[in-house]
């Protein structure tokens, strides 16, 4: 386990509401008058979490690039899951397994937004390569709006091996790419499924793509050639939910 900083009003509120036992301290900007910040400080004290008032410069320092809005929390983050957790999570989800695989998303805002969509869709887990993705930084946590703490994040040492573990467990895998005629709306996403999206610039790596059962695109009649990876993630995950809600 390691300490990290949760930055901003909504992320701190999410940590206090969902995982207060891991919050080690809360820092509030000196002179801060925002009512929500004050309410969070009061709630933290009621939970016996130390609350300290610090200068804006100190909050800026621990927040990095993230906008802190006058409040941050030091959080004892659990370690990310490993490939050893995949089978257990799939077993717990059963036929409702919905897995998001991100092959090399390096922008923290994009990863955070993907985690937010995955949490909103009730995804079983999100799998990322251990060495080709941004970690759970303060920016990622803030962009996820609490999603980082609501969906299991698996750091796979070998992504192709993790995908084979999914397939061996009966999960059908669909990768997204722009150079195919198959529409994602024609893929049956009922039952245990995984969707794979590649990095912001290069897309899926070759071996990742070859491991997929299907490769599909999101049809775009407009003039744009591609979508932001977090937007595409939301579209595909909620298409899966739409299909699952329909009567067979």
Q: Which domains does the chain have, with CATH numbers?
A: 3-76 (3.30.1330.30), 83-245 (3.40.1280.10)
- According to the model, what pLDDT value does residue 1 have? 46
Asked whether residue 98 is marked as a ligand-binding residue, the answer is no
More confident residue, 125 or 138: 125
- According to the model, what pLDDT value does residue 6 have? 86
The three state secondary structure string of the chain is CEEEEEECHHHHHHHHHHCHHHEEEEEEECCCCCHHHHHHHHHHHHCCCCEEEECHHHHHHHHCCCCCCCEEEEEEECCCECHHHHHHHHHHHHHHCEEEEEECCCCHHHHHHHHHHHHHCCCCEEEEECCCCCCCCHHHHHHHCCHHHCCCEEEECCHHHHHHHHHHCCCEEEEECCCCCCEHHHCCCCCCEEEEEEECCCECCHHHHHHCCEEEECCCCCCCCCCCHHHHHHHHHHHHHHHHHCCC
- Average of per-residue pLDDT across 92-106: 92
- According to the model, what pLDDT value does residue 2 have? 54
Query: What's the pLDDT band for 136 if we cut at 50, 70, 90?
Result: confident
pLDDT tens-digit map of 197-222: 988 677 888 999 999 999 999 998 76
Identify the sign of the CA torsion 156, 158, 161, 163: positive
pLDDT tens-digit map of 2-48: 567 888 898 898 889 878 888 999 999 999 889 999 999 999 999 99
- According to the model, what pLDDT value does residue 3 have? 63
- According to the model, what pLDDT value does residue 67 have? 82
Least confident window among 8-17, 131-140, 232-241: 131-140
- According to the model, what pLDDT value does residue 75 have? 86
pLDDT tens-digit map of 35-81: 999 999 999 999 999 999 999 999 999 887 778 999 999 988 777 88
Directed axis angle between helix 108-120 and helix 229-245, to 10°?
10
Verdict on whether the full-model pTM lies above 0.85: no
Count of CB atoms within 10 A of residue 159's CB?
A: 27
Asked whether residue 198 is marked as a ligand-binding residue, the answer is yes
Query: What's the pLDDT band for 108 if we cut at 50, 70, 90?
Result: confident
**149 within 8 A of 172, measured Cβ to Cβ:** no
pLDDT tens-digit map of 168-200: 999 999 999 988 889 999 999 999 999 999 886
């Amino acid at each position: 386990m390691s300490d990290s900083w949760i930055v901003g009003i909504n992320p701190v509120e999410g940590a206090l509401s969902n995982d207060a036992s891991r919050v080690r301290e809360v820092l509030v900007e000196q002179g801060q008058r925002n009512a929500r910040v004050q309410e969070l400080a009061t709630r933290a004290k009621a939970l016996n979490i130390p609350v300290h008032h610090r200068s804006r410069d100190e909050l800026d320092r621990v927040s990095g690039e993230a906008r802190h809005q006058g409040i941050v929390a030091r959080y004892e983050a659990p370690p990310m899951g490993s490939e050893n957790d995949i089978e257990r999570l799939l077993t717990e989800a059963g036929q409702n397994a919905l897995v998001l695989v991100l092959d090399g998303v390096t922008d923290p805002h994009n990863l955070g937004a993907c985690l937010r969509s995955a949490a909103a869709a009730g995804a079983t887990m999100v799998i990322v390569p251990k060495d080709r993705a941004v970690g759970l930084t303060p920016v990622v946590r803030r962009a996820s709006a609490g999603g980082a703490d609501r969906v299991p994040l698996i750091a796979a040492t070998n992504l192709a091996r993790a995908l084979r573990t999914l397939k061996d467990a009966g999960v059908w895998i669909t990768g997204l790419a722009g150079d195919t005629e198959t529409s994602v709306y024609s893929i049956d996403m009922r039952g245990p499924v995984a969707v794979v999206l590649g990095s912001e610039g290069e897309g899926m790596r070759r071996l990742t793509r070859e491991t997929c059962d299907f490769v599909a695109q999101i049809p775009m009649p407009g003039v744009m050639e591609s979508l932001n990876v977090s937007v595409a993630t939301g579209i595909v995950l909620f298409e899966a939910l739409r299909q699952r809600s329909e009567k067979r």
